[in-house]
Amino acid sequence: MKTEASPKAFISYATEDKARFVVPFATRIREQGVNAWVDQWEIKAGESLVDRIFESS
């Protein structure tokens, strides 16, 4: 039996849109089963953005 993986979305944004649009949008699509990748949820202080992106793919 084949199991379907959840769809993935990498969300790139302008900083000024983060609080007003990005976080609410990403939260809503996660609630719908999409694996939304937002930097503030996935990266800790001192980690490499590039390394974390490629680890998650």
- What is the 3 state secondary structure string of 1-57? CCCCCCCEEECCCCHHHHHHHHHHHHHHHHHCCCEEECHHHHCCCCCCHHHHHHHHC
Q: Is the pLDDT of residue 35 over 80?
A: yes
| pLDDT band, residue 4 (cuts 50/70/90) | confident
Q: What was the pLDDT predicted at 57?
A: 60
**Domain range summary for the chain, segments of one domain joined by +:** 8-56
Q: Is the pLDDT of residue 1 over 60?
A: no
Q: What was the pLDDT predicted at 26?
A: 96
| pLDDT band, residue 22 (cuts 50/70/90) | very high
The whole-number average pLDDT for the span 28-56 is 87
